[in-house]
Chain A
Amino acid sequence: MSHDTHTAHDAHAEEHHHHEETFISKYVFSMDHKMIGKQFLFTGILMGVIGMVLSMIFRVQLGWPEANMSFLKPVLGGWINDTGKLDPSFYMGMVTIHGTIMVFFVLTAGLSGTFSNLLIPLQCGARDMASPFVNMLSYWFFFMSSVVMMISLFLSTGPAAPGWTIYPPLSALPKAMPGSGLGMTLWLVSMILFIGSALMGGMNYIVTVLNMRTKGMSMTRLPLTIWSFFLTAVLGLLSFPVLLGGCLLLLFDRSFGTMFYLSDIPAELTGGIERLGGSPILFQHLFWFLGHPEVYIILLPALGLTSEIIATNSRKPIFGYRAMIMSLLGIAFLSFIVWGHHMFVTGMNPFLGSVFVLATLIIAVPSAIKVFNYLATLWRGNIRLTPAMCFAIGLVSFFISGGLTGLYLGNAALDINLHDTYFVVAHFHIVMGTAAIFGMLAGIYHWFPKMYRKRMNDKLGYLHFWLTILAAYGVFFPMHFMGLAGVPRRYYAFNLLEEFDVWTDLNVFISVAAIIGGFAQLIFLYNFFSSVLKGRPTEQNPWGSTTLEWTAPIKHIHGNWEGDIPTVYRWPYDYSVPGAEHDFIPQNVPHEGDLIEPNDHQSYRSPGGGGGHTDTHEVHFSVPNFFKKLFGLKPATA
């Protein structure tokens, strides 16, 4: 509509002349990227709470399968039968919706949506996204998609129930099980809206990063946050359309009588003719072509936030900036050629299988580089353990422990045993679930002052951190052993078969940990909302950061900066520069005042760089130097 005419601008347009802003235009149909970011955050938190409550309910079921669950009747109503037992098909529904909510609504939209929106324009030095209008649409598509997904929880036949991967035929035959009916249709409608939202958001992020950076902000001066948001958007742009195609075919199979995915289905299940000759495996290919990149869509933003937080709070340049970018690029590329590792047991050609094994194991290389760089950044840093920093380090810990199990699963020979067991559940919850949640929480603690101009309570933050990390390991670590022993995932109860008796106690332990972890999040919610309302005020740059968002005034204004957008003169990691007045130099500070080589950031990366500054090893830590010192050799001088 008329946003066309406004971009048909004249050069002297006022920068931020304030129109009357109504409640609706400011808080509801906002086109300001900072507000849209908060809308994503709120919706994400709400969905996260729902997903978590679902998980606590089914953990109660798994921990105490014989217990009388009628105390849940007020919440679940008819899904608890008269003897106090949870309905098994509703159990499947809850697991499905939990997975869907967590993967897509919390860790894709909630994470990327919040931080890409908040940080891309601010850290690139742009006044807003490329298209604020499309950006607003992106949020409202997400909102509608969430509403549809929530409605499906209240259907009398229950929500979709074939698992978050919605494999046919359960998802393709409306009569297959109760949740396969309307619940599944709503799932697909919701997902199609969601894909629309993700694509609109992603298009904006890509164009803004590539095209709207401020003067001096070359790609190699971009904070790693922006690099990872950018690559996340690229992954989404390339993979979500394929899922869209897959979902459309599924919709046609369900409702219009096609048989893309249906094979050997007798007539009584289709309500019409018998279906022959489709291929359920075809769906798995289409799904995992999105599905694997999707797990990186979730993880990369969290890694980006972590890079920023770890560098800032170690008061050191991030170790191996270019290596970080290269490994992000490597991961992004490789993530498109490994989807087959989810399908080793579909009877794929063993040669093809080994190609997927190879590609999968190669991903471990860039992942390991990233981990190494995080640790090297921490190494001898001047570490400030803020709550954000704790969560960021927690992420690194999860990334290591979950990545290692990925190597087991990546070997087809092992995966044939481990597939669809609790080992997989442990793997992906640690490496993706908790790691990304930790990244998101770290991001919230770190950028809270930017979002709300207040500080969160640190003490509650530490309490939240310790309870959460202990609970998370408590829940997911034991699952490895269950998986190794062959306990299958997606079972409603483990008390019916004798083989599972040995796991009874462990299941109780896991459930207790899950419940503690769940309640620990109340601390966070309390801290978050009470700080929004009455947290203590913050300075403009509370963490002493170098990136541009902290050069913007505390008060939010449309267009982010009064007057001109800052020009960028340096890379984003000038922490503890020897001889500098402060232990950080913001990106918009020109080089004239510096005491060391004024050309560019290269000097801080080279081993022992800066010639006469050999006494500041914290800053110049590098692998070669580390080993040279280790073996008693002299540090190299540049």
Chain B
Amino acid sequence: MQAHLNIKSQQEEQYTVNPKKFMMWVFIVAICMLFAGLTSAYIVKKADQKNWIDFRLPAMFMYTTLIVLASSATLWWAARSAQKDEIGKVKIGIVATLVLGILFCLGQWDGWSDMVSRKIVFSGDSVSFSFVYILSGLHLVHIVGGVILMAALTVKAFRYKIHKKSMLGIQLASTYWHFLTILWVYLYVFLVNA
């Protein structure tokens, strides 16, 4: 079964972009459309003003925004260190990203608990409640995928498999992770202002 894959090798070098990286970008476009659709739905629904209750977002969401920004910074630092073959820093950077990623998840959970304690529940009186859960929840699903990627990268880093000549894994993961950071910042700004 593996034999099929060797045949690509002869050609792969000539491609302008690595096909896997390209796929990652295309995948990101698809995720963008998912959230573009849902945030448009939010705007359209809000516009008819039926049963729409505005409320304050949990303060925690502000902190998680900072956390996810920090996690992007550590990952960026890890990738840069890998490029310089500084393996020790790579490990630190990736582990830090993993920890921050997990913290982000816990933070979102805490934010939801805060909302629940204020009687703003998922299937509550207003569609506006549900929308906040849907948007942050679907983002969180993608983050969980990212955290799993980070865990895999951690294993790789501790086996010394991330270095100057083996960057593909960390590059793919970085593209995805930074995108999720931007996506959350967008969603946060959107929910605060919309």
Contact = CB atoms under 8 A, between A and B. Distances in A.
A207 B14 CA distance: 14
B161 to A, nearest CB: 11
Contacts of A559: 7
A10 interface: yes
B106 to A, nearest CB: 23
Interface string A17-55: 111010001000101100000000000000000000000
B11 A127 contact: yes
Contact of B34 (A6, A131, A244, A258): A244
Contact of A279 (B5, B7, B50, B138): B50
Nearest to B36: A242
A260 B12 contact: no
Interface stretch (A81-89, A248-256, A310-318, A610-618): A248-256
B19 A282 contact: no
A260 B50 CA distance: 11
A191 to B, nearest CB: 14
Contact of B23 (A204, A249, A279): A204
A211 B22 contact: yes
Given A11-B9, A212-B11, A285 B30 contact: no
Contact of B33 (A6, A16, A207, A242): A242
A7 B33 contact: no
A210 B40 CA distance: 30
A19 to B, nearest CB: 4
Given A128-B7, A237-B29, A259 B127 contact: yes
B13 A25 contact: no
Interface in A271-322: 276-279, 282, 285-286, 289
A245 B37 contact: yes
A31 B1 contact: yes
Contacts of A278: 45, 50-51, 127
B186 interface: no
A449 B35 CA distance: 44
A354 interface: no
Contacts of B19: 130-131, 207-208, 211-212
Contacts of B29: 237-238
Contact of A242 (B4, B10, B17, B34): B34
Given A31-B1, A258-B127, A282-B41, A211 B17 contact: yes
B41 A285 contact: yes
Interface string B163-176: 00010100000000
Contacts of A128: 4, 7-8
Nearest to B15: A211
A15 interface: yes
Report the interface size class on chain B: 35 or more
Contacts, number: 168
A579 to B, nearest CB: 34
A266 interface: no
B30 A241 contact: yes
A112 to B, nearest CB: 16
Contacts of A21: 1, 3
A582 interface: no
A559 B138 CA distance: 39
B22 A210 contact: yes
Nearest to A133: B5
A558 B50 contact: no
A282 B3 CA distance: 49
Interface string B116-131: 0000001100110010
Most buried by A among B3, B17, B20, B31: B3
Most buried by B among A211, A237, A276: A211
A203 interface: yes
Interface string B37-67: 1101100110010111000000000000000
A3 interface: yes
Nearest to B33: A241
B27 interface: yes
Interface in B129-161: 130, 134, 138
Interface string A125-137: 0111011101000
B193 interface: no
Contacts of B8: 7, 9, 127-128
A18 B134 CA distance: 49
Given A11-B10, A252-B130, A279-B48, A212 B41 contact: no
Most buried by B among A10, A240, A245, A259: A245
B51 to A, nearest CB: 2
B51 A246 contact: no
Contacts of B41: 245-246, 249, 260, 282, 285-286
Given A207-B22, A257-B123, A258-B123, A245 B7 contact: no
A558 B4 contact: yes
B34 A7 contact: no
A241 B142 CA distance: 14
B122 A256 contact: yes
Contacts of A286: 37, 41
Interface string A179-213: 00000000000000000000100011011101110
B34 A15 contact: no
Given A237-B29, A277-B50, A558 B34 contact: no
B194 interface: no
A259 B40 CA distance: 17
B185 to A, nearest CB: 20
B29 to A, nearest CB: 6
A13 interface: yes
A286 B134 CA distance: 15
Contacts of A599: none
B6 A13 contact: yes
Nearest to B17: A211
Contact of B10 (A13, A29, A248): A13
Contacts of A285: 40-41, 44
Given A127-B7, A260-B127, A3 B2 contact: yes
Most buried by B among A9, A17, A252: A9
Nearest to B27: A203
A3 B2 CA distance: 7
5 contacts: A199-B30, A203-B27, A211-B15, A245-B35, A258-B122
Given A16-B7, A126-B11, A259-B127, 18 more contacts: A3-B5, A8-B168, A9-B6, A14-B6, A17-B3, A18-B3, A29-B1, A31-B1, A31-B5, A127-B7, A127-B11, A199-B27, A203-B30, A211-B16, A211-B22, A238-B29, A248-B138, A279-B44
Interface of B: 1-17, 19-20, 22-23, 26-27, 29-31, 33-38, 40-41, 44-45, 48, 50-52, 122-123, 126-127, 130, 134, 138, 166, 168
Q: Which 10 A-B pairs have the closest CB atoms?
A: A277-B51, A9-B9, A257-B123, A242-B37, A559-B7, A241-B34, A130-B19, A19-B3, A241-B33, A13-B9
